[in-house]
Amino acid sequence: MRFDIVTIFPGLFSGIFEHGIVRRAQAEGRVTVNLYDLRAFTHDRHRTVDDRPFGGGEGMVLKPEPLAEAMESLGIAPCARRAPEDGTRVILLSAQGIPFSQSVARQLTAVDRVVLLCGRYEGVDERINQLYCDMELSIGDYVLSGGELAAAVVVDAVMRLVPGVLGNEASGEFESFGVPDAEIATDEAGVPRSQHGAGGLLDYPHYTRPVEFGGVAAPPVLLNGDHSAIRRWRREQQLRKTMANRPDLLERAALTDEDKRILDSIGWKKY
Ligand code: SAM
């Protein structure tokens, strides 16, 4: 999978993609991340990428010509001239975009190439969005000073779902925000076999050595080797954490009868 990032600050990415799973995925040739300096597509002495907004008002706007030239140099034609299934998605990072989520990240793994346009100042001339972009993505309800951190978030979240990037192929599915409508395999006692956030729940809490830290002991159930009891405890923790921090996720989570019973016992009123 290939990511192309167009930005006025390519230097902002140095370091971000040089560590951990992202670095390994690139070293193994599973993903490629290319950075393109928008100023390379200007033709004036000052390498100007911005201009004053029509209609007046605060700030500057990224002008369309360098962005369009960057797109053409990457072989990206305007949407109207692109084949609908050409394997490329052009994304404008924008506070006005649709919310980026694990499910959008999952959808993006279906394409071969993701092109990310990073805005700056008051944003990008809207005609670039209209002419070249397949979607506008926001990483949250707050305003960043540029699209670079948002682009890095999208690359990281999508890349780790590319097959082979995580050691265990299934692990992406079993984290927080795992597929909500996935079939939940249960054992004979109705306890889900999944070890993480499958079913659209948040992940359960994790512990490692030492057994006691800061006067707090790790939950004894995790130390006794009873795997069915451990799964049951983890599932209950997922339900508790999701109810406390993200009750909205419970509305669309795939829940077993046992889950509903646990939720009942901890005060979830829906069932
Ligand atoms: N005037 C814009 C607005 O109110 O929606 C904010 C522009 S912001 C200062 C500059 C750039 O940062 C945007 O063009 C976009 O690329 C990026 N940006 C800001 N917030 C973002 C968010 N929540 N998600 C993704 N990109 C964001």
Q: What is the pLDDT, as a whole number, of residue 59?
A: 97
Q: What is the pLDDT, as a whole number, of residue 174?
A: 67
Q: What is the pLDDT, as a whole number, of residue 243?
A: 95
Same domain, 248 and 147: no
Q: How many angstroms is it from 149 CA to the middle of ligand 1?
A: 10
**Does residue 2 contact residue 112 with C-beta atoms inside 8 Å?**
yes
Pair type for strands 212-213 and 216-217: antiparallel
Q: How many angstroms is it from 122 CA to the middle of ligand 1?
A: 7
pLDDT tens figures, 97-130: 999 999 999 999 999 999 999 999 999 999 999 9
Residue 166 domain-assigned (yes or no): no
Give the global pTM.
0.92
Q: What is the pLDDT, as a whole number, of residue 178?
A: 76
Q: What is the pLDDT, as a whole number, of residue 192?
A: 57
Give the pocket of ligand 1 (CB within 6 Å): 93-96, 118-120, 122-124, 138-140, 142-147, 150
Same domain, 194 and 154: no
Same domain, 105 and 37: yes
* Domain boundaries, position 233: 173-271
Residues of the chain where predicted confidence (pLDDT) is lower than 50: 195
Same domain, 151 and 257: no
Q: What is the pLDDT, as a whole number, of residue 195?
A: 46
Q: How many angstroms is it from 238 CA to the middle of ligand 1?
A: 33
Q: What is the pLDDT, as a whole number, of residue 98?
A: 98
Same domain, 27 and 147: yes
Q: Please choose from 58, 61, 93 the residue to mutate so as to test ligand 1's pocket, defined by most ligand atoms within 8 A of CB.
A: 93
Q: How many domains does the chain have?
A: 2
